[in-house]
Amino acid sequence: MLNIQIGLRGEEEMVVERQDLASMMGNIGAEVLSTHRVVLLMELAARNAIKDRLPEGKMTVGTFIRIQHFAASPLGSTVRAEAYLKKVEGRKLVFDVIARDEFEKIAEGENEQLMVSIQKFLDRVNRKKIKKDSP
């Protein structure tokens, strides 16, 4: 984990399309970028900060996010999320995250990700599938 240190930065950018709108999730008339899509954009920015530095066989999973989404972004606008790794506590990585469209800052907050073994993660999910499918 020596390659993962405080100060790493990541970005992710998108153009707001119809499937990203709050109105597509049932918020009728809200033809703006949905909050859940902003969250995903921020998590992707955080992952981009460390994606080439993870040890073999490891990945990160989101475990906590706290954001304020305080401005709307219309259909067709470009939104960029940025993440800054501010804390490393063992397997836990904590990022400051921010999102902006072409006009202003639209959201900010904190994202926590946990580094896990891909195989152990998949094994745990498969055990749940087996339990679900068992009579």
**Residue-range domain boundaries for the chain:** 9-133
- CATH code at 9-133: 3.10.129.10
Beta strands in the chain (DSSP E): 9-15, 58-69, 78-89, 92-100, 105-117
Question: What pLDDT does residue 2 have?
Answer: 57
pLDDT of residue 23: 84
Q: What is the pLDDT along the chain (135 residues), one digit of tens a residue?
A: 458 999 999 999 999 999 999 888 877 778 899 999 999 999 999 999 999 999 999 999 999 999 999 999 999 999 999 999 999 999 999 999 999 999 999 999 999 999 999 999 999 988 888 877 777
Looking at residue 54, the DSSP 8-state letter turns out to be S
- Looking at residue 132, its pLDDT comes to 76
- Cβ–Cβ under 8 Å, residues 21 and 32: yes
Q: How far apart are CA 7 and CA 59, in angstroms?
A: 19
